[in-house]
Amino acid sequence: MKHPMKHPMKPATALATLLLTLVVTAPALTPAQAQPPLQVPATAPAHVHPLPTLRDQATEQQAWLEARVDRVLPALMSEYNVDMWILSMREYAEDPVFWSITAPTTFAARRRSIYVFTLQPDGSVERLALGGGDQGGVFEAYRSTRPAPTQETGELVGDEQWQLLRELIEDRDPANIALNIDAEWAFSDGLHAGEREVLEEALGPYLDRVVREPRLAMNYIALRIPEMMPRYRKIMETVHAVISEAFSNAVITPGETTTDDVRWWLRQRVQGLGYQVWFQPSVDVTRQGSGRISGDTVIQPGDLLWTDFGVVAMNLHTDTQHLGYVLKPGETEAPAGLQRCLADSNRMQDLLLEEMQPGRTGNDILASTLARISAAGITGTVYTHPIGDHGHGAGPVIGRWDGQEGVPIRGDAVLLPSTWHSIELQATRAIPEWGGEEANCRQEEEAYLDAEGERHWVFRRQDEFHLVW
């Protein structure tokens, strides 16, 4: 049965004119919406911030979702001249974009879920769901005309969905249709092979209007709205507080506590706070005479401690690396050589952030940063990545730990304002107190670019060792 169309057809020529206009007039994030940076005193202790109730979390996340589809998506579709964007997926075979367009009470696609976004003359985007729910009112959700035993109508299924999709396309008559197919960008390659086959069959003569625009999915996921920052800052402060506790005598007894003990303590601690981890935490030591010890080992006085620790809360990811030092008898601070190593790492952070200008590619930023690091007499490597809806997020990577010559494809992406990044790098220095043995000062700290492209720490960075005595 045909479904009545609510929007008149428009000729392709008129649509082209509209698209040209929308490039200029579509809504976008403005500096006035930006969250002002917060300057946290270095001496202020980090505090744990309990999460709101699950119900309140969902309310907050739903507001973010509505803001993103109302503001970010129309601007991107206009910028990239995409008239219609179709996402088609099945339960447990979701497109990566799914988690950025659905309500916090949705945990998987519903049977087959087809989402259709169509750019409108006023710069807004029509949002239709052909299968699945309305995601808290974000989509207009169609249902079947078939009666069902327990409800007035059933859900769209099979040929009904494809027929309705075809009718929608015929009615809107888009100049082009973007599908998430890309050989390089995982965030833009969510159309599974079998799903692509049946979708392309349903498109019929409109198949020749299909375009691939990987930047649409990638940058929709990457762009952050300022409303997220207050919550993200609290999450980040909590991470700092938990690491400070882990690298203290509250958790570590030198000569008894092992690195695995601390690893599992970190995971258990955040689980108790309602947070999750998105990878198993890492904890290791570097020890004079033994170098870096990655396996489980008993923590001893004189050890340089390191952790790589990432949590998830309200679909916001963190990725943090901090350093600690276990004091030897008679010591009140870390050896001067280690302190210089940490200072080198901090200087590298400064240089990298200075080079992270919007509009530059990740590879360009990497090359200029490494040149400045070398000129400063510092030995180190840079391997920074975006973060947000995913731990290793959408957008440009700036180096890899095993690739300082540049990163093909992903390093060629352009850095955008209103994005978040894990500033990940390491400085290497010979430590005189260790007889010239080298230590790596590995750090990772969240920073963000505001709407004007200025760079800020989300909470603050580590510039002193966590101390265990």
Where along the chain do its domains lie?
A: 12-222, 226-468
Whole-number Cα distances in Å, 264 to 240, 277, 282, 320: 17, 11, 9, 16
Of 412, 319, 421, 425, which is closest to residue 365 (Cα–Cα)? 412
Of 280, 165, 180, which is closest to residue 221 (Cα–Cα)? 180
Confidence of residue 17 (pLDDT cuts 50, 70, 90): very low
Confidence of residue 457 (pLDDT cuts 50, 70, 90): very high
Looking at residue 18, its pLDDT comes to 29
User: Phi/psi of residue 131, each to 5°?
Assistant: 115, 140
Of 209, 457, 106, 208, which is closest to residue 115 (Cα–Cα)? 106
Looking at residue 30, its pLDDT comes to 38
- Cβ neighbourhood burial of 305 (10 Å; 0-12, 13-18, 19+): buried
For 331-339, what is the mean pLDDT? 97
Average pLDDT of the chain is 91
For 411-437, what is the mean pLDDT? 97
Encode pLDDT of 199-251 as tens digits.
999 999 999 999 999 999 999 999 999 999 999 999 999 999 999 999 999 99
User: Is 349 or 149 the better-scoring residue by pLDDT?
Assistant: 349
For 442-459, what is the mean pLDDT? 96
Looking at residue 44, its pLDDT comes to 77
Looking at residue 152, its pLDDT comes to 84
Confidence of residue 55 (pLDDT cuts 50, 70, 90): very high
Looking at residue 459, its pLDDT comes to 95
Structural class in CATH, domain 226-468: alpha beta
Q: How many CB atoms lie within 10 A of CB 279?
A: 14
Of 322, 449, 452, which is closest to residue 388 (Cα–Cα)? 449
Looking at residue 11, its pLDDT comes to 32
pTM above 0.85, yes or no: yes
Confidence of residue 33 (pLDDT cuts 50, 70, 90): very low
Question: In the predicted model, is pLDDT for residue 5 greater than 70?
Answer: no
Q: Strand 316-317 and strand 311-313: pairing?
A: antiparallel
Q: How many CB atoms lie within 10 A of CB 124?
A: 16
Of 95, 75, 78, which is closest to residue 86 (Cα–Cα)? 95
User: Is 9 or 216 the better-scoring residue by pLDDT?
Assistant: 216
Looking at residue 39, its pLDDT comes to 63
User: Phi/psi of residue 17, each to 5°?
Assistant: -65, -40
Q: What percent of the chain has pLDDT over 70?
A: 91
Sign of CA dihedral 435, 436, 440, 441: positive
Degrees, nearest 5: CA angle 237-243-246:
145
Question: In the predicted model, is pLDDT for residue 96 greater than 60?
Answer: yes
| Angstrom distance (rounded) from CA 154 to CA 145 | 7
Sorted by sequence, the CB contacts under 8 Å of residue 293 that are 6+ apart come out as 259, 284, 285, 286, 287
Fold for domain 12-222?
Creatine Amidinohydrolase; Chain A, domain 1 (3.40.350)
Looking at residue 27, its pLDDT comes to 34
Looking at residue 156, its pLDDT comes to 86
| Angstrom distance (rounded) from CA 307 to CA 321 | 5
Q: Residue 202 is inside which H or E element, if any?
A: helix 193-203
Looking at residue 36, its pLDDT comes to 58
Looking at residue 37, its pLDDT comes to 64
